[in-house]
Amino acid sequence: MAKILVVGGSLGGLFVANILLRQGHDITLLEKATGSLDGRGAGIVTHDALAQALKAAGVTVDHTLGVLVSQRVTLGRDGNNLGEMELPQVLTSWSRLYHMLKESFPAERYLQGKAVKSLTQNANSVRVQCEDGSQYEAELLIASDGIRSGVRAQVAPEVQPEYAGYIAWRGVCDEACLSQHTLDTLFNHFGFCLPDGEQMLGYPVAGSGNDTRPGKRRYNFVWYRPASQDKELISLLTDDDGRYYPTGIPPLKVSWKHIAHMRQVAHEILAPQYAEILEKTAAPFLQAIYDVRSEQIVFDRVALMGDAAFVGRPHVGMGVTKAGDEAMVIAKYIAQLGATPQALQAYSDERLKLGQQVVARAQYLGRYMQAQGSKGTRDTDNLKRNASTVMAETAIDISDLLAQGKAVPESAH
């Protein structure tokens, strides 16, 4: 049994902490936030690998995981169907996964208000100091502390999030509010709408209390819109009192003026079904889209995983699945090689290039989305062709492509 520290108590940290705990290790998880992380996430696309990681983490995976959707559809500006595609997928939510993973992990090992601020290591151990003055020591440290990882800042300060040039409006709308037309033509689908240079997508998720019964569900949407870094992004990340949040504006702080403008544009350029959803979503929020690409994810007794290691833009729909995969690989090598730097190096050998591929694929999917605008065409045939490509490529299981090193098609290089 080894002493292992996990930094970050979101989904990635909970995956690795749960899996290693079940291997018999002495795990302490350090999480910066003091309150519940719940209530801030929205929809998550699941893949087979996610179910495997959940099972390894001790979570029971059954039909209550999420909402099964069998078809994708793209709607035109007029609301008509531009194309559809069969693709069964289970859609869940960040909160659902968080609760399942958190309930599997002993509360006394999940320490909150522990913001790691520095670390040192020697031949036998790694030691961290938290902002509250407390210190922890262990044989290994696994950092899953997110896009602005404090641990990464210590070991690889040169790696910084790079703004992709666009933001995502997000939110969930209660099914019960929606018109019959929107329910009939969109609600049960993984839906898309592709205005020039932008992309709207959405899918149904469970409602309050994880209720998946018809009438009780919600529609989760993500609307990607370009925003210049120097002007528009700063304005979007500034609240109604003039306070600027450079690393992300809390959902309830998003300015009502931006929300009103976003809804107005939705009526002008999106299918009416989506405009209705945006109109009826109580608290839309927004996130800037970033890339994080690491060249090194293991530093002797310290490993980076999850968003601390790589952030692929959400078009791949893989943030959580990737974290689950990485957690399983770390645990596999610790089981084989012990809690040693060699085990972490084996993890890096297996996952570094895959993580880089995920980032590259996400950039490719984002570029493609933006390229639509530059074509400057509203030709229906062209839109149809783009619709099929977007539906076929977004948030699909790419494990085979990753294994073959083909996450980005050769034509896109």
Ligand X SMILES: Cc1cc2nc3c(=O)[nH]c(=O)nc-3n(C[C@H](O)[C@H](O)[C@H](O)COP(=O)(O)OP(=O)(O)OC[C@H]3O[C@@H](n4cnc5c(N)ncnc54)[C@H](O)[C@@H]3O)c2cc1C
Taking the alpha carbons at both ends of the chain, their separation in whole angstroms is 46
Q: Scanning residues 231 to 270, which ones bind ligand X (CB under 6 A)?
A: none
Rounded to 5 degrees, what angle do the CA atoms 10, 301, 154 make? 65
Q: Is 288 in the site for ligand X (CB under 6 A)?
A: no
Rounded to 5 degrees, what angle do the CA atoms 180, 182, 186 make? 130
CA 275, CA 293: separation in Å to the nearest integer?
35
Which residue, 21 or 320, is less far from ligand X as judged by CB? Answer: 320
Q: Is 397 in the site for ligand X (CB under 6 A)?
A: no
The residue from 66, 76, 79, 150 that contacts ligand X (CB under 6 A) is 150
Which residue, 115 or 177, is less far from ligand X as judged by CB? Answer: 115
Cα dist. 75→31, 143, 171 in Å?
42, 41, 19
Which residue, 38 or 184, is less far from ligand X as judged by CB? Answer: 38
Please state the closest distance from residue 318 (CB atom) to ligand X, in A. 8
Which of these, 389, 391, 309, lies nearest to 357 by C-alpha position?
309
Segment near ligand X (CB under 6 A); pick from 178-186, 240-248, 312-320, 335-343: 312-320
Per-residue binder mask for ligand X (CB under 6 A), 28-67, x = binder: --xxxx---x--xxxxx-----------------------
How many residues in the shown chain lie near ligand X by CB under 6 A? 33
Point out the residue whose Cβ comes nearest to ligand X. Answer: 306
Q: Is 9 in the site for ligand X (CB under 6 A)?
A: yes
Q: Is 341 in the site for ligand X (CB under 6 A)?
A: no
Which of these, 290, 308, 287, lies nearest to 164 by C-alpha position?
290
Please state the closest distance from residue 13 (CB atom) to ligand X, in A. 6
Please state the closest distance from residue 89 (CB atom) to ligand X, in A. 14
Q: Scanning residues 90 to 119, which ones bind ligand X (CB under 6 A)?
A: 94, 114-116
Contacts to ligand X by CB under 6 A? 7-13, 30-33, 37, 40-44, 94, 114-116, 144-147, 150, 306-308, 314, 319-320, 323
